[in-house]
Amino acid sequence: MEGLSKKIYLELSAPTEEDSRSDQQRILEALSAEGIEEQVHMPVHILRMIYPLVENAKWKITVSLGWNGENWEILDIEAGNQTGHHYGLAVDLGSTTVVARLLDCVSGRVVKEVSCFNRQIQWGTDILSRIFYCKDNPRKLEEVRQATVDSIVECMDKLDAQWLDECRAKEADRKVQRKTEECDNTEVDGARRGGASCREDSDAESITRSCVSMVVAGNTTMIHFLLGMDAFCVFYTPHAVHGDRPGFQPAKDLGIPIKGYVYCYPSKSNYLGGDIISGMIDTELYKKEEISVFFDIGTNGELVIGNKEFLLCGAGAAGPALEGGVVSTGMRADTGAVDEVKIRDGKILVHVIGNEDGEFQKMDSGNKSDKQEALKNGGKPLQIEAKGICGSGIIDLIAELFLEGWIDIRGKFSPEKSPLIQKKEGQWCVEYAPGLHFYQKDIDEFIRTKSAAHTMVEIMLRESGLELDQAERFYVAGAFGKHVSKESAITIGMYPDMDRDHIINAGNSSLEGAAKLLLNRALLKDIDQILEEMVYIQFAEVEDFLELMVAAQALPHTDFQRYPTVMKKIQERQAKKENVISIKNDINVKKIINY
Amino acid sequence: MEGLSKKIYLELSAPTEEDSRSDQQRILEALSAEGIEEQVHMPVHILRMIYPLVENAKWKITVSLGWNGENWEILDIEAGNQTGHHYGLAVDLGSTTVVARLLDCVSGRVVKEVSCFNRQIQWGTDILSRIFYCKDNPRKLEEVRQATVDSIVECMDKLDAQWLDECRAKEADRKVQRKTEECDNTEVDGARRGGASCREDSDAESITRSCVSMVVAGNTTMIHFLLGMDAFCVFYTPHAVHGDRPGFQPAKDLGIPIKGYVYCYPSKSNYLGGDIISGMIDTELYKKEEISVFFDIGTNGELVIGNKEFLLCGAGAAGPALEGGVVSTGMRADTGAVDEVKIRDGKILVHVIGNEDGEFQKMDSGNKSDKQEALKNGGKPLQIEAKGICGSGIIDLIAELFLEGWIDIRGKFSPEKSPLIQKKEGQWCVEYAPGLHFYQKDIDEFIRTKSAAHTMVEIMLRESGLELDQAERFYVAGAFGKHVSKESAITIGMYPDMDRDHIINAGNSSLEGAAKLLLNRALLKDIDQILEEMVYIQFAEVEDFLELMVAAQALPHTDFQRYPTVMKKIQERQAKKENVISIKNDINVKKIINY
């Protein structure tokens, strides 16, 4: 694989009177003979380690090369053939969670993936608090930088610990095997070598520290913090950030304990960071004939629309209602969060994270949760109680309320539709889980979010001279794409009403793009191309943004014709309940929402 | 100047809503607009310093760029226009002496040059002792490495101290001037800024630490030690050294306190080091139509012969008799060393280092030095007494002994020719200064050295298919070239008998070549070309080396026809003394030396 690192086994000829080339030339020429066409730089610490290592290794060595952006650099020399032991790290530096993936650079296989909280959280869950914490204060900025690096190192340590555990388990297996196979020496030797890094009598080798290259994808603020740059610029107008193309930096200059270079994905602008560029690399949107929409919905929504001929991008506040802290009982997608909601026969059924998949808790009208009942029910383990609701739960809930007719097209409660709709603290609300209420203002807040998201897509398509139905693929990145029900998101008009198979959960495309680049150096050119082609649309400068957003502030949209399958679904659901609400035409609807 | 570093003043436009490029892009694009065509890398420590420096400087900054071998790297950002303050360092890393030259990279002017002893001397004046001291001992190797770096840093400190003294003197002058010119404010402000680095109330800026680039030229062993590589390989057969193309290394990786990169001149082979390659760059031998000989005579003799079409090189033990320790009263060219010798009217006249130029001390037959006489003579200061004889003194002495006929063509004393020739410890000798004797074995030793040197030149020319008289230039590098009398060196057959103007004292060509490269990056290509073109001749493999060397073991040579002007000189000198020795033909001479 032509990745960002290489390990090459060389069998060098020993110097003779006739061939008195220097060790350095001997190695460089052997690399060239192995097909390395680029300049290879040998840093002084490698010059120092040549002797006596190479001689002791009887001139059979493995050279680790790391790409520094323009050339190869020799970053390690090991005795013997160590090409099978070649790993790299891809990191998604999220503002909440840092995910690190250990890749086998020989096979491209994912060896292991771990995550940890971003230690910046100590200065606030929202990015702005962190920015203000260290703004214009180099000492505090250094604290934040260190915490960022520590988060990555924590992931590396986790990977190492898991790796070591596995090695020890394998070693134990081998010991058993050795006893039974003592006659077959070759086999035993092979096993011993393979497990060399895990022998209890030697210092355990760290697999992450043996990595040559790391690719990090993160938003503009995260990368500023990782590199130790003040990030107030990201939010300050004019939005000129300090650094947007960090490229390859020596890992040691960043304080990251790997052997070679750390590549940070560049950002297009303050709000369109390296995580999105990495997502482009992952989805290959920029290479396709068909037009795709790439949407990353978090605190901000980042959006890219295009194909191999054009790329438009933009960002806006599209996701806040889906985060904890905006909706009154909103929380992160963590244990105890309601992440799925169904309404069946007038009852709200919720799934709580931590419980088994498909295990729903019922919320009857006025009843407490049937936890006790579940307990008795066949001796199943105690169910985890709901503590709040996360993004996917919110979307499910609103979609179901809408399909059931408990809320109208404007998202307003119709209290007559269910006894579960109550008035609390002067507002209508529904108790979706014991003691947990979803209020009218929560719905209103959410509708603003979803209409912003919808409007962003609409504007971007319009800027490209396209209609909504001309986008053939709709990629949804991040946790949102992973957990949210497509059906619900379409029902409430967050996603366009399109072929469900063309709505693609891009997963952690930031991490995926980082991993792809780690294994394929040629993508660096693609990144340059993406940055060059991308045109950033300032939504603030779009004159009719607010107008379009108001039009989108209905469920699923004031223009019902955009959502034929939703219309059908409503009719079906209502028909089932023999309580059909006739929706005659969108003109009537427009009247309704023009309140 | 297109040197290894650049300082460029940029007046950037501040970010606006319309132009929200990152600070990084703003700087890089401005550099591109200034004509920087190559890739410019911005390391993380520079990304970190952009804010608030650039903003505070009102977007008027000076960027320091250092060449890293393939690209530019930004190594400093300063507020305002600092392009006038742009210096670099050239270092000749000699095994005895380290010379450092501070260059003004704007004008190319030599600001200052200092030297110090190579601190490796603590482990022996000869290189081999040092090599054996740390052979296969990483801890001791680190000591030697550190001592090497410390020698360079000592030179840097000396440069800084001298610079600071001058600044203070200038500042004092300015203060006086200021008082008399108090009305002219502009002038005073200008002076203040210029002297900012020397103000006593602020931390004195170090001029050497402000340098971006350093070029070091040294022999293969010196460069191994500077980089921390075991150097036993230099003397061990097969002569495959560990590293011969160190290229550009970050100064901080070498422990040298400058901002950017240190370039070490590459070596061609174990005995043909970077100092010689640097000498090539200085003399431009590889560019010339005419054929030149480049000779560096020290403990070893290194030799290059060629022109723009070919380059032959070789090295051999050509100089040991000129060093302290071989000749019985030999010493370095230091205070107290006899460095010039004349014989006039049967008296030996010597010049001693430390006395005024042209001030000779007489050595009469049987008399003590006329020191007392000199003291009385017009109240001149006390003369420094001779303590030994250095290389140039030895060559002068042997040449004069030969011209006077006190030694014969084989270098054997003719005791009847002067009462100054005495027998001491069973050997003939001459007392060249009070209590200091030059023995027959010293002469014999020297003749072996000079015949080796002569033979090397002869063989190299022969290998090029050339006669001795086809070399049009004879460059003599180092202290030898600087101090040795051309006339004497020709007389004894060390130099060829050629137009004196074509024998060129190349001085410290190692340092000069380092300085030239510092100021002219294009020479890097020339260095590659030189290394590629150079063919190394192993003298040990030349079959008739010993035969030729025996033929050269006469004064000036068994083949007198090679030395017409010497023949003429002998005749003149002898005629003057009315004591002509008839030299009929070289056949007779050959008989004489075939003893």
ipTM reported for the complex, 2 dp: 0.88
Res A297: pLDDT: 83
Q: pLDDT-derived band of residue B580, with 50, 70 and 90 as boundaries?
A: very low
Res A325: pLDDT: 65
CB contact under 8 A, A249 and B43: yes
Report the residue from A229, A238, A243 with minimal CB separation from B16.
A238
CB contact under 8 A, A20 and B44: no
CB contact under 8 A, B240 and A22: yes
Q: Tens digits of per-residue pLDDT, B11-44?
A: 999 999 889 999 999 999 999 999 999 999 999 9
CB contact under 8 A, A15 and B238: yes
Look at B142 and B191; give whichever has higher pLDDT. B142
Q: pLDDT-derived band of residue A202, with 50, 70 and 90 as boundaries?
A: very low
- A582: closest CA of chain B, how far (Å): 49
Res B374: pLDDT: 46
Q: pLDDT-derived band of residue A184, with 50, 70 and 90 as boundaries?
A: low
Q: Is the pLDDT of residue A592 over 80?
A: no
Of all residues in chain B, what percent carry a pLDDT higher than 90? 67
Q: Is the pLDDT of residue A545 over 70?
A: yes
Of A151, A84, A75, the C-alpha closest to A111 is A84
Number of H helices, E strands in chain A: 19, 23
CB contact under 8 A, B17 and A41: no
Q: pLDDT-derived band of residue B71, with 50, 70 and 90 as boundaries?
A: very high
| Best residue of A53, A73, A145, A242 to probe chain B, by most B CBs closer than 10 Å | A242
Q: pLDDT-derived band of residue B466, with 50, 70 and 90 as boundaries?
A: confident
Residues of B in contact with A42 (CB under 8 A): 243, 245
Res A364: pLDDT: 59
Res B187: pLDDT: 45
Of all residues in chain B, what percent carry a pLDDT higher than 70? 88
Asked whether A275 and A217 are in contact (CB, 8 A), the reply is yes
Mean pLDDT over all residues of chain B? 88
Give the mean model confidence (pLDDT) for residues A170-188.
71
Residues of B in contact with A44 (CB under 8 A): 227-228, 246, 249, 253-254
Residues of B in contact with A244 (CB under 8 A): 22, 24-25
Looking at chain B, how many residues does it have?
A: 595
Q: Which two tokens stand for residue A406?
A: 């408990």
Q: Comparing A5-14, A565-574, B459-468, which segment has the lowest mean pLDDT?
A: B459-468
Half-sphere exposure of residue B41, counting CA atoms within 13 Å on the CB side?
20
Q: Is the pLDDT of residue B556 over 90?
A: yes
Q: Is the pLDDT of residue B291 over 70?
A: yes
Residues of B in contact with A23 (CB under 8 A): 233, 240-243
Res A576: pLDDT: 77
CB contact under 8 A, B20 and A136: no
CB contact under 8 A, B240 and A41: no
Q: pLDDT-derived band of residue A104, with 50, 70 and 90 as boundaries?
A: very high
β-strands B473-477, A347-352 pairing: unpaired
Q: pLDDT-derived band of residue B366, with 50, 70 and 90 as boundaries?
A: very low
Give phi and psi for A102, each to the nearest 5.
Answer: -95, 125
Q: Tens digits of per-residue pLDDT, A248-277?
A: 999 999 999 999 999 999 999 999 999 999
If you compute the radius of gyration of chain A from its CA atoms, what whole number of angstroms results?
28
B-chain residue closest to A251, CA distance: B44
- B269: closest CA of chain A, how far (Å): 8
Look at B375 and A527; give whichever has higher pLDDT. A527
Tell me the count of A-B CB pairs closer than 8 A. Answer: 133
Q: pLDDT-derived band of residue B540, with 50, 70 and 90 as boundaries?
A: confident
Query: What's the one-letter identity of residue B113?
Result: E
Residues of A in contact with B42 (CB under 8 A): 243, 245
Look at A371 and A434; give whichever has higher pLDDT. A434
Asked whether A54 and A77 are in contact (CB, 8 A), the reply is yes
- B451: closest CA of chain A, how far (Å): 26
Look at A564 and B298; give whichever has higher pLDDT. A564
Res A176: pLDDT: 85
Report the residue from B47, B227, B250 with minimal CB separation from A47.
B227
Residues of A in contact with B263 (CB under 8 A): none
Of all residues in chain A, what percent carry a pLDDT higher than 90? 67
Res A194: pLDDT: 41
Query: What's the one-letter identity of residue A82?
Result: Q
CB contact under 8 A, B26 and A246: no
Residues of A in contact with B227 (CB under 8 A): 44, 47-48
- A465: closest CA of chain B, how far (Å): 24
B-chain residue closest to A47, CA distance: B243
Residues of A in contact with B24 (CB under 8 A): 242-245
Res B210: pLDDT: 96
Res A324: pLDDT: 63
Judged by phi (left if over 0) then psi (alpha if -120 to 50, else beta), residue B358 lies in: left
H or E element: which one contains A174? Answer: helix A138-180
Question: How far apart (Å, rounded) are the C-alpha atoms in residues A318 and A304?
Answer: 14
Res B468: pLDDT: 76
Give the mean model confidence (pLDDT) for residues B210-218.
97
Q: Is the pLDDT of residue B459 over 60?
A: yes
Question: How far apart (Å, rounded) are the C-alpha atoms in residues B253 and B69?
Answer: 16
SS3 A93: strand
B-chain residue closest to A137, CA distance: B52
Name the CA dihedral angle for B124, B129, B135, B141, rounded to a multiple of 10 degrees.
20
Which string of b and e fits A114-143 if b means at least 16 CB within 10 Å?
A: bbbebbbbebebebeebbbbbeeeeeebeb
Q: Is A441 exposed, middle or buried (CB count within 10 Å of its CB: 0-12, 13-18, 19+)?
A: middle
Residues of A in contact with B20 (CB under 8 A): 238-240, 269-270
Q: Is the pLDDT of residue A415 over 90?
A: yes
- B246: closest CA of chain A, how far (Å): 7
Q: Is the pLDDT of residue A382 over 80?
A: no
- B242: closest CA of chain A, how far (Å): 5
Mean pLDDT over all residues of chain A? 88
Give the mean model confidence (pLDDT) for residues A490-499.
91
Give the mean model confidence (pLDDT) for residues B116-120.
96
Q: Comparing A394-403, B264-273, B518-527, B540-549, which segment has the lowest mean pLDDT?
A: B540-549
CB contact under 8 A, B45 and A270: no
- B254: closest CA of chain A, how far (Å): 8
Res A237: pLDDT: 82
Report the residue from B22, B44, B246 with minimal CB separation from A227.
B44
Residues of B in contact with A250 (CB under 8 A): 43
Give the mean model confidence (pLDDT) for residues A307-314.
94
Report the residue from B21, B240, B249 with minimal CB separation from A21.
B240
Res A585: pLDDT: 44
Q: Is the pLDDT of residue A177 over 90?
A: no
- B587: closest CA of chain A, how far (Å): 40
Residues of A in contact with B23 (CB under 8 A): 233, 240-243
Residues of B in contact with A45 (CB under 8 A): 253
Q: Is the pLDDT of residue A342 over 50?
A: yes
Q: Is the pLDDT of residue B183 over 70?
A: no
A-chain residue closest to B69, CA distance: A41
| Best residue of B77, B139, B242 to probe chain A, by most A CBs closer than 10 Å | B242
A316 alpha carbon, distance to own chain's centre:
18
Residues of B in contact with A28 (CB under 8 A): 245
| Best residue of A16, A18, A20 to probe chain B, by most B CBs closer than 10 Å | A20
Q: Which two tokens stand for residue A75?
A: 């970053």
Strands (E), A478-542: 503-507, 534-536
Q: pLDDT-derived band of residue B334, with 50, 70 and 90 as boundaries?
A: confident
Q: Is the pLDDT of residue A322 over 90?
A: no
Q: pLDDT-derived band of residue A358, with 50, 70 and 90 as boundaries?
A: confident
A-chain residue closest to B232, CA distance: A51
Give the mean model confidence (pLDDT) for residues A514-531.
98
Q: Tens digits of per-residue pLDDT, A556-579?
A: 999 888 899 999 999 888 887 754
Res A185: pLDDT: 52
Question: How far apart (Å, rounded) are the C-alpha atoms in residues A310 and A530?
Answer: 9
pTM listed for this prediction = 0.88
Report the residue from A17, A48, A51 with minimal CB separation from B237.
A17
- B325: closest CA of chain A, how far (Å): 31
Cis peptide before A238 (omega within 30 of 0): yes
Q: Is the pLDDT of residue A375 over 70?
A: no
